Amino acid sequence: MQRKRIKHATSFEQLLAEEAQQFREAAEKEPPGSTARDLLLRRARQAETASHMKEWLTSPGLTSPK
């Protein structure tokens, strides 16, 4: 049994960047120092970090151990 392949309209990096932007915009609406704002900013940083890790893992400079 084969899995169905889905072609996505946007790349994973673009989705992460959009998600980070949405979290940052939502955080701006919260009062400074609130727990909700801190959590939203944390989620934005996590999305950005995931995007950077994806770039690093798919870079041509990264080689597998022999």
**Assigned domain for 49 exists:** yes
More confident residue, 57 or 18: 18
More confident residue, 62 or 12: 12
Q: What is the pTM of this model?
A: 0.73
Q: What is the tally of structural domains in the chain?
A: 1
For residue 63, tell me if it sits in a domain: no
Mean pLDDT, all residues of the chain: 87
Q: Is residue 42 part of a domain?
A: yes
Tell which wins on pLDDT, 34 or 66: 34
User: Structural domain of residue 25, as residue ranges?
Assistant: 12-57
pLDDT the model gives residue 38 = 95
> Does residue 21 lie within any of the structural domains?
yes
In a domain, 43, yes or no: yes
By the 8 A CB rule, do 18 and 51 touch?
no
CA angle 16/22/25 to nearest 5° reads 140
